[in-house]
A and B are shown apart, each in its own frame.
Chain A
Amino acid sequence: MSRITCDQIRTAALDPATRAGDWARQPDAAAHVRRCVSCQDWLEAFTAGERAWASVPGDAFAAAVIARTAGVEAVLRDLPLLADMDPGPGFTDRVLRATSQKPAPEGWRARAAGAWRALVRRPRFAWEAAYVATVCWVLVFGNPVGAMEWSATNLGATARERLGPPARELRADLETWRGRLAPDAAERGASAGHQTEAEPAVVQVWEAAVQWLRTTTSTVLDAIARTWDAVAAWVDAPADAPRRSTEPPGEAARSPQ
């Protein structure tokens, strides 16, 4: 019974440090591959469909493994191509901007400040801050929705309670001032039904201005009306003369649709 395993076959075939011919000529390895369909399929993948071991001779097997190992070496040889990539235009400037102006932090304060700046610069910092603020709000003030419900229910009562006394005081003050400013007018207005004589000069001037405005407006409107009538009369005068029609000539100019 062979002690060679599939993993050993594959590892040995792929290891560029070992010479494939050395182990491929070993009877155990050849015997294993001749029996193992999995290894045959795996090794077949390296030879682009060429069934090198159909005849099972040891040399053919060795040649097939060598050929396949060369294929693996080609894959491994290509890997260093991935060691260098162009990061794109502007990358160097971006890095230098992010570093050259910044002195190396010393001490835990500077490191903490740097860590804080790095934390704040992240795009999702705003979401995190909003979340923390909401949690703090709920912890300090309770449920904000409950506060809104309470406010809606008690707004009227609170307003009456808070604003009632000042409003009553204000009204009393107004009444007092009104009594002091025009004590006679109130009495005469109440007895004669009008307050013309008691009106101050400002009100009289205002009413005179309004009267003048009304008179002037009616005069201007009358003038406009007379002018319009004159224009209409002038337009109606040649009404007997034939006029050119601006309408299209009936059905001939219209689409059947």
Chain B
Amino acid sequence: MDASDLSTLADRCRAGDALAWEAFVRQMQGRLFALAYSYAGDREDARDLSQEIFVRLYEARGQWPAGDEFLPWLFKVARNRSVDFLRRRSVRRPASTADEAEVAHLPDLSPGAETRAIEEDRRSLLRAALRGLSAINREIVVLRDVHGLSIQQVASILGIPLGTVKSRASRARVELTERVLALSRGRGEA
């Protein structure tokens, strides 16, 4: 979905179009769930968190910014909700759910399963490497390299200077790559 389609959909949601809201949920749930998962690190928590984000977006739909400002604003709302969620979760014990790695090892016998398994393995490796980064470096990599936001947008969302984002982004990539390589060696890959 490109930016203009998203902007049009956002305009219709802002006008109170229920069908547009449903389309928006269907279009954005994958991205927002992925973002929530990068913060929560747990599927069930990520589902709760992404639902909270959608509810917050729905409640504030009258104030959605128009045009190119919408996507950074969306990520800013999602990021703020995620930080609140982590703060609340820090005072309780994390939910115990099946680890994603365990789920990934369940046999999949459907067509194209091998390709999907390889892709899932790469995703799992990247997620594990991302989890090893510091919180701020992880946020920068997720927003910049995973979701493709610009350095300026990342700086605006995180509320830190542009130069800091640039230098941290470089170091975060270095750190991430080192972790990916270390994990690959640990898994017996070349």
Q: What residue of chain B has the Cβ atom nearest to residue A87's Cβ?
A: B33
B73 at the interface (CB under 8 A from A): no
DSSP majority for the B interface?
helix
Choose one: B18, B33, B177, B182; the contact of A75 (CB below 8 Å): B177
Residues on the A chain within 8 Å of B178, using CB? 42, 45
B70 at the interface (CB under 8 A from A): no
Say how far B76's CB is from chain A's closest CB, in angstroms. 17
B12 at the interface (CB under 8 A from A): no
Residues on the A chain within 8 Å of B21, using CB? 99-100
Known: A71-B177, A98-B51, A99-B21. 10 other contacts (CB 8 A): A10-B174, A71-B181, A75-B176, A81-B126, A82-B34, A82-B38, A84-B34, A87-B50, A91-B51, A100-B22
B5 at the interface (CB under 8 A from A): no
Say how far B165's CB is from chain A's closest CB, in angstroms. 14
B146:A83 contact, CB within 8 angstroms: yes
Say how far B108's CB is from chain A's closest CB, in angstroms. 14
CA separation between A119 and B61, bound complex, in Å? 22
Say how far B183's CB is from chain A's closest CB, in angstroms. 11
- In this complex, how many residues of chain B approach chain A with their Cβ under 8 Å: the count is 48
Choose one: B37, B59, B126, B177; the contact of A14 (CB below 8 Å): B177
Residues on the A chain within 8 Å of B177, using CB? 14, 71-72, 75
The answer to whether residues A105 and B59 also contact, given A81-B126, A88-B43 and a CB cut-off of 8 A, is yes
The answer to whether residues A95 and B29 also contact, given A45-B178, A72-B173, A85-B37 and a CB cut-off of 8 A, is yes
B18:A79 contact, CB within 8 angstroms: no
B34:A95 contact, CB within 8 angstroms: no
Say how far B167's CB is from chain A's closest CB, in angstroms. 9
B33:A85 contact, CB within 8 angstroms: yes
CA separation between A79 and B174, bound complex, in Å? 14
Interface size range on A against B: 35 or more
**B108-135 toward A: CB 8 Å interface, digit per residue (1/0)?**
0000000000010011001100100000
B47:A80 contact, CB within 8 angstroms: no
CA separation between A100 and B185, bound complex, in Å? 48
A78 at the interface (CB under 8 A from B): yes
Q: What residue of chain A has the Cβ atom nearest to residue B173's Cβ?
A: A14
CA separation between A100 and B16, bound complex, in Å? 10
B92 at the interface (CB under 8 A from A): yes
**B147-190 toward A: CB 8 Å interface, digit per residue (1/0)?**
11000000000000000000000110110111011100100001
Interface residues of A (CB under 8 A from B): 7, 10-11, 14-15, 42, 45-46, 48, 71-72, 75-76, 78-88, 91-92, 94-96, 98-100, 102, 104-105, 114, 124
Q: What residue of chain B has the Cβ atom nearest to residue A13's Cβ?
A: B174
Residues on the A chain within 8 Å of B92, using CB? 124
Residues on the B chain within 8 Å of A83, using CB? 31, 34, 146-148
Say how far B116's CB is from chain A's closest CB, in angstroms. 12
A104:B58 contact, CB within 8 angstroms: yes
The answer to whether residues A81 and B145 also contact, given A72-B173, A104-B59, A114-B59 and a CB cut-off of 8 A, is no
B34:A85 contact, CB within 8 angstroms: yes
CA separation between A257 and B31, bound complex, in Å? 76
Say how far B77's CB is from chain A's closest CB, in angstroms. 14
Choose one: A45, A80, A104; the contact of B181 (CB below 8 Å): A45
B26 at the interface (CB under 8 A from A): yes
Q: What residue of chain A has the Cβ atom nearest to residue B190's Cβ?
A: A48
Query: Which of A10, A78, A91, A99 has the most chain B CB atoms inside 10 A of its CB?
Result: A99
